[in-house]
Structure 1
């Protein structure tokens, strides 16, 4: 309780006790699979940074004490990372940092569109993360793109990241930032930029992997046996997965424009220039997705055209053979009527003549159909 007495000005003691109990059982690890800590806590990491340098605390992960010290010294910030917290787990944290209830609800329940919202002194941003799902062979039911979410609360002295999904760990990003203290020294806004840049870079990686699948399908469709062996279900599956990727990428354009152009209290103007660079990368991804969608439409239309041509070829062959068979059928039908007074019935060479006429007519029809490409 000694640490709680040091922060009597931090809202209510009851909320701080919840946070204290939550953070003290968090491990000193940053796991991405499984993402939750072995002890069941949603807190993945809690670290204090001053002048871009990570601070070593007596008890790593003691959020209450870290926030109290940062607010007392008015220097540095706390980066708290969580994975799929429950309402109960997040309640004390929200009270400690004064987070808006609407933003807290979005962070806990997830399934949000990419967005940026401002609540007094706090900025709340939502990013959709994407991951390419490796598969030995693309089928009509293969999962190609898996999505998750990262919610980021940014204040003057804190960054809170809430991650949903089993991918998109921020551990490697945290290590990368710690290796460049001059970037971390710019404060929580620099962390927000790094997360946005990390998410968009993942978009680029996924689009490159999806392009390989599209190239594979395209090669199969335009092969010599494409009309018979190509599976249109694979094309439809790629279009569905591409739609999921599009839903994650395209809505992020507006939030990035807000971060890059509009004045925001917790983001310095020099940081906004970096958001413009991220926005340029996002536009590139958006253009690639639009091009992929058009290409898949063209591949699907080409495949349907190939199937139609193959069906027409089969129909013409059937028609040609039916016309050839119709000649002997007609002549045999005529001379099978068994009338007593039919010409050539009693003639010695009648049978040979009829067979010769049938054979000649069939040969002429066959050569005519072959010449015209029907056989």
Structure 2
């Protein structure tokens, strides 16, 4: 019988892992099934553009994997039984159980901290295509002068606030963060960030811990009110609860704990990649949830799994960082060079050239998914 590999989730991590496995392993020996709730690959790093009114190219998964041998299943994952080696699915044919010999878990993350009172009822997320389209429709309904508040001072919040402000200069856009906005950036990058905020008319509220979200305002922990006809919530991400409901070893946030090869420390037939995995980076610090780590995690998992199945040496690599890239609308960006441990250096590129670098990186990430079996020479090994 063929070795059954099931990949859950076709975001950056899952899509790349499935394609790389198809390139590494012979289809006569393995059966690779990619399960995803949507029929298309979604460029998550561009969702702020979609929300701002731009249209993104359609990338049907059936086209991406044509001729690769990867089987596609459009279904929702409802459960994982890591002891029995099965996955529960709900699709067009109803509920069913899918067995596996090896599982690659890449279900990603959703908007976090929605347990803040009123956030789930009144705030819009930006963690998926449907969220972005709902936000886009809501923005189109706003009259000139309406207040829009983006909650979250990380990269997603910054990109959302500047994209909305540039696309709709008639709106009153503000950004609220619990700590400093862009706190991981260097001094030069933060100066440019605030210059762009000023140019686009984005009001910044730092040290604003949002305690309650209402229909037309938010209230901070200190009782300060910030007007918000529309609230966009980007304050952190949370993983899907499926892994935490299994016998897999997970962190206190529900991420699957993996070793350097992206293999579960509790179940050797399970690998986890992307936002759903807790892996150590340089200095022993956990890798952050980002596209910057999703791709190398997928490479590491696929190469390690292929090596184990074919009796070869498992590669030993430590995933590190190179840069942080932040879009500031369509004509500006910050490219912040960082150390492998994700610490800001003095090398910063901004403005139009920074925007071109960011676009090159985003396009490259999409290309790596659109050409899942062209990332390395054909080296299919027999089991």
Q: Tell me if TM exceeds 0.5.
A: no
TM-score tier by shorter-chain length is: under 0.3
Between Structure 1 and Structure 2, which shows a larger proportion of helix residues? 1
Q: With a CA cutoff of 8 Å and minimum separation of 6, indicate the structure with the bigger relative contact order.
A: 2
Which has the larger Rg?
1
The TM-score normalised by the length of structure 2 is 0.22
Between Structure 1 and Structure 2, which shows a larger proportion of strand residues? 2
The TM-score normalised by the length of structure 1 is 0.22
